[in-house]
A and B are shown apart, each in its own frame.
Chain A
Amino acid sequence: MIFKERQSIYLQIADRISDEILAGTYAPGARVPSVREYAVMIEVNLNTVMRSYDTLQSWGILDMKRGLGYFVADDAVPTILARRREAFISTQAAEFFETARSLGVTPDELAKMYKNYLNEQ
């Protein structure tokens, strides 16, 4: 089954900034680029980036300090990982299991595949 739906650009940008925080580009406590700097860098509308920053703030990933700009929250990394874990279980895993079921892949097979995968890492 193929079903592709992309989230709105402001959510994609929020995801992208989260990736950058996980990768260490912006460390906890560090200032992130201004809305305008980020908009110019990725060639996107200012209001869209503003919405991404607002969203990240409401998720507790960025902190806004009035007059200074946006900073990475101290516990941004665990917050991002918890959100992603939840999204993985509710969405990606569900799609994966649906494909496994439709192709007759058994739970034992899946468990074995996952164990092998972890051993190879």
Chain B
Amino acid sequence: MIEVKDLSLGYSNPGNALQIFEHSDDFDTSEIVLRDISLKFEPGKVYGLIGRNGAGKTTLLKCISSLIWKNAHKKVFIDGKPMSNGNPSILSRIFFVTDTTPLIHIRVDRYAKKLSQFYPDFSMDCFNECVEMFHLNYGEYIDNLSLGQKKMAFLSYAFASNASHIILDEPTNGLDITSMRTLRKLIASNMTDDKTMIISTHHINEISSLLDHIIILNNKKAVFDHSVIETGRALSFVESDKETDKNNALYSMSSAYGNRMILPNTSGIDSEIDYELLFEAVLDDNSKIDRLF
């Protein structure tokens, strides 16, 4: 479990490195990137993190995987312990696949061996299975791989690491249709009750079937933080050509048929979430939506 408590960060002075602030009133003169973020990532769940370009998704993921570490021990807790930059027993519980994967000159299989020394539960069987499913070549050097293949190699390391927290920043970037399906199968097959997966994406529909929980970042804040179950129960996502429906809608968007709308769910039957519509509605006015939870 990862807990983020009142996390705020930004640049204390223009040109300085990004830093976590100890107190939220340290902000006045700074450029703020994230403000008062409090989130809980529980085991056995897959979290989807969405937000517009520059909303701070990657920055948040860096904070919870110790890549921004100054003051992190006061704001980020992993399995109840403060985050630390140097403690291997904490770091080996996290595997972070960054959007821009590192350019390293080492063979795909040799890098797996290196990582296995760092991650005590690293599974070569799982690594081999991932490599086969992605049709990767063990003997290839990582820096010679294409963008998509590099991503696949690091996704394979992530699943094989058996780290209890797997964090994927834009994992679908660069993947072709078949590899995307493989990724979905690997997420489903590698998920366990003691693992937490956090996935950020701009292409929510590509991974929406795998999510337990949705977090939306906007204007430096976490403006939506609800489970898929709660969301489908509270809101009803419909498409209708009747103007009367539109008048009751919390949010509506024109479509070929009429309007795609969010209505309060009064049917007692859980609705399938229209993620695009939810995203636009929350960005438009999240208080209207949040009132129903």
Q: Are B191 and A45 in contact (CB under 8 A)?
A: yes
The residues of B that contact A4 with a CB separation of less than 8 Å are 238-240, 257
Q: How far is the CA of A47 from the CA of B197 in the complex (A)?
A: 13
- For chain A, the count of residues having a C-beta within 8 Å of the partner chain is 23
A44 pairs with B239, CB closer than 8 A = no
Q: Which of B16-24, B49-57, B73-81, B269-277 contacts A (4 or more CB under 8 A)?
A: B269-277
Contacts A3-B242, A4-B238; A44 near B232 (Cβ below 8 A)? no
Give the contacting residue for B209; candidates A3, A11, A45; CB below 8 A: A45
A5 adjacent to B237 (CB under 8 Å): yes
Q: Are B45 and A47 closer than 8 Å at their CB atoms?
A: yes
Cross-chain contact B241 with A36 (CB below 8 angstroms): no
Could you tell me the distance between the alpha carbons of A46 and B228 in the complex, rounded to whole angstroms? 13
Taking CB atoms and an 8 Å cut-off, the chain A residues in 1-23 that contact chain B are 1-12
Assess whether B102 is interfacial by the CB under 8 Å rule. Answer: no
**Docked pose: A3 CA to B271 CA in angstroms:** 13
**B242, closest chain A residue (CB):** A1
Q: Which residue of B lies closest to A35 (CB)?
A: B188
How many Å from the CB of B211 to the closest CB on chain A?
Answer: 6
Verify if A40 is at the interface (C-beta below 8 Å from B): yes
Q: Mark B235-251, 1 if CB is under 8 A from A, else 0.
A: 01111111001000000
Residues of A within 8 A of B34 (CB): none
Known: A8-B270, A8-B272, A40-B185. A45 touches B238 (CB 8 A): no
| In the assembled complex, A39 has its CB within 8 A of some CB on chain B | yes
Main SS of chain B's interface residues?
A: mixed
Contact among A7, A39, A46, A47 for B270, CB-based, below 8 A: A7
Which residues from chain A contact B232 at a C-beta distance below 8 Å? 8
Within 8 A of A (CB), among B207-258: 209-212, 228-229, 232, 236-242, 245, 257-258
Bound complex: CA A36 to CA B191 (Å): 9
- Nearest B residue to A37 by beta-carbon distance? B189
Contacts of A44 in B (CB 8 A): 188, 209-210
Q: Which residues of B contact A51 (CB under 8 A)?
A: 229
| C-alpha spacing A47/B47, complex, angstroms | 13
Is B44 close to A, CB under 8 A? Answer: yes
Please provide the chain B residues from 72 to 95 with a CB less than 8 Å away from any CB of chain A in the complex. none
Contacting residues, chain B, for A43 (C-beta < 8 A): 181, 184-185, 188, 209-210
8 A Cβ contacts from B253-286 to A: 257-258, 269-273
Q: How far is the CB of B2 from chain A (nearest CB, A)?
A: 18
List, in ascending order, chain B residues with CB within 8 A of A36's CB. Answer: 188-189
A contact residues around B269 at 8 Å (CB): 7-8, 11
User: Which residues of chain B (154-196) have a CB below 8 Å from chain A?
Assistant: 181, 184-185, 188-189, 191
- The 10 A-B residue pairs whose C-beta atoms are closest, nearest first, are A8-B270, A43-B184, A6-B272, A39-B188, A4-B239, A5-B238, A8-B232, A2-B241, A3-B240, A40-B189
Would you give 30 A-B contacts (Cβ < 8 Å), ordered by A? A1-B240, A2-B240, A2-B258, A4-B257, A5-B236, A5-B237, A5-B239, A6-B271, A7-B270, A7-B272, A8-B232, A8-B269, A8-B270, A8-B271, A11-B270, A12-B272, A36-B189, A39-B189, A40-B188, A43-B181, A43-B184, A43-B209, A43-B210, A44-B188, A44-B209, A45-B210, A46-B188, A47-B45, A47-B212, A51-B229
